[in-house]
Structure 1
Amino acid sequence: MSSPVQVTRLSSSQADFKQQLDQLLAWEAVSDTAVNQAVNDILHQVKTRGDHAVIEFTNRFDRMGVSDFSSLEMSQERLQRALDGLPQTQRDALELAAERVRRYHEKQLQSSWSYTEDDGTLLGQQVTPMDRVGVYVPGGKAAYPSSVLMNAIPAKVAGVDEIIMVVPTPGGEVNELVLAAACIAGVDRVFTIGGAQAVAALAYGTETVPQVDKIVGPGNIYVATAKRAVFGTVGIDMIAGPSEILVVCDGKTDPDWIAMDLFSQAEHDEDAQPILVAWDEAFIDQVEASIQKLLPTMEREPIIRASMRDRAALILAKDLDDAIAITNRVAPEHLELSIEDPMDVVEQIRHAGAIFMGRYTAEALGDYCAGPNHVLPTSGTARFSSPLGVYDFQKRSSLIMCSAAGASELGKSASVLARGESLTAHARSAEYRIKD
């Protein structure tokens, strides 16, 4: 019989609660010197040597033996075969998820707009999609077809012309579900490459891999470090930290449900962070008992155990208002409001990536098929970031068209402000258009 896991217990009534909470939340995705050096070398090699460097790194890191790039690209026919070869239940689930994700993201589409002022001056905004986007998908056993849908479908809805997917196949291990998801999502080209070399290929372009405008999708520390390094050459979605869940519960939900909701994030990896906030100490005791009871039954028990031991917390709040204050302080990636009337308090939540409301709304539904995107801000960045969406694949250009009268009137103000900044050419450029 496995030993009980020690889960941190905190109380907001403790004098040092804020310091303890800060210590619990602290996580730095800092790449050490060796990682940075390795990534910088890979980026340089791919930038200067193109396909040859990508092939060399793929053979070395993914235990492959390819000699030319043609064997690293999956045809559309191959993607279709992967979809056709799925068991019907898997295909139905994938297609349902894709349809729900597509339908939700269609609501996010932004349109161009303009208005004309009384003097005939037109002002507005033109919204256009990006030309080409790269989607990074982890490969091998750590493969997530749901991530393909969540990253590629919003780009398609936005009107992106071409979606390039990269997915490593370590040791030649291909995940059919990932390829099937790429087929359903409408991915245009798929290359079986990964790591920093795949990020470099997308960012700089090679003889075979076209350069993209933005790179999205999760990856390991080498992928994250490479994305950070190429930002500016291309756009990126975010540098994601470990997965997080914070559950606010009023003590009336089945404690087994709450324990399993915490496990649903803990099983991602040892650094994942599950937190329960409740104001009923007896209920917290019940959830802890459920954790000890259910943990030995989990397939990923060692990973969950490490996460629960090192990163989890069961927090006793004073009341619901205190629980909401703690939530806004944490700014969690996933927030479950497992309470009687979540709609009564949801507007008080200022910082959260996704909010799952009510006892029946498990966070896992959002990971797969609810519809909203599961690419969410982590590590407190929900304070200033939003879920991945259609808007991440659209650009906005300002529209300004002055009438003669408008240019004359605006020119007077522009002239004064420009001369105040000692920018004489600015002033004179505006002054030329002022009517006498």
Structure 2
Amino acid sequence: PIAILIFLSLAFNLSAQKYEERFATSADIFEDTSSKKISSNSCSKIASYIPDTLTSELTPMRTVRINVHVIQDGKGKNNFNEEEGRKFIGHLIQNTNDRLNSNVKMNLPKDNMTAVIPIPYRYVLTGDPNNSADNGIYFHQDDTLFAMNKKSKKKDNVYDRRQYDTYGVQKQKVINIFLIEHYPDSVASSTYKPSNDGVGMGPWVKLVGSYHLWKHPHITAKGDTIRFGPWNLGGLMNHELGHCFGLNHTWNADDGCDDTPKSPGCWNFGPPPCEIPSNNVMDYNASQIALTPCQIGKVCMNFFRDKGARDYLVRDWCTYTKERSIIISDGQQTEWNGSVDVFGDLIIENNATLTIRCMVSMPPGSKIILSPKATLIIDGGTITSRCEDGEWDGIVNRFTRRNHPTIVLKGKSKVEKAVHPL
């Protein structure tokens, strides 16, 4: 028995060989020039960004920074006052996030098998970080910009950007949302319907008519009272912000998603063909609560694009968090065909291979750690730090006397902004 224990102890010590480690240099790189890289354009394919529950670390929860402006007329009327407005806006943001937290099955097409997957983004009110009293809600008085005429062919229609040009703050960092109204004389006309309208234009969103509808509940022919509240506006707000994230109306043939249904144009349940109306966020309907996997993938893809949706995200990819390290486990053969934000270290274990084809962002202070039998293939991709004045540490090679990790560069691959460059 003692001899057996000694033998097992020796065997364990041999199997758990100690390794040395150092930062990789250009001498450790194998540049594969023999095979031409066939570009699959996977970096710009929506399918590369559709969340997979088995690799949730590749689709982190994103936080979109927003603020809200209430524009009253010159006397402080014809829109929410400060007490009403702050309460309404607080409930509005809560409701929009609740909708995102509760993705549901698509109504159309009937009996569809479209998957229901979590929506990986939420909104946060964001004031000026240099002003502790700024909570991201603003009130303005302006006789010119408090309202619009949806029938106007002049500049005072829904597409008018003067509200953003005049009152927008933290531009290119926070999406500015404006609550305005219809002109009172238009509302007084029997031929003008003061509906809830909106537009999403990337850096700004405009939501029109909410105060009037909230202030004047609708009485149906049966005498029922229908009240307009934050939950009603939440669907429109998610719709317009969806445009800011690159989503198109679902009834357009070119919306880029095969899993979005063509809508018969039904706002709610009714006679055929409206016995089942759409409930997609990017359609016009009373629910606006469902997003398809393709739509979610398209948003996730656009969250990697600079000078676009990425500009409005909380920049948590620049904060190193060891607990959020990504591990490519022993024996795994993994391909990253889309861009990835790493929030900790990237660890590739023995007998595992990771192929990178797009952009991988590493936070300052992070490392890519290769075990002695690990393989890292950069196939036309770029490993960098997408942080201003930020550098990540570099690639760490762990090696034994017999085994060294393999690093292969193909095509126009890059490893940049590392403290210890290749």
Same fold, TM-score > 0.5, yes or no: no
Structure with more of its chain in strand, by fraction: 2
Q: Could you say which TM-score interval applies, normalised by the shorter chain?
A: under 0.3
Structure 1 length-normalised TM: 0.25
TM-score normalised by the chain length of structure 2: 0.25
Greater Rg over alpha carbons, structure:
2
* More helix by percentage: 1
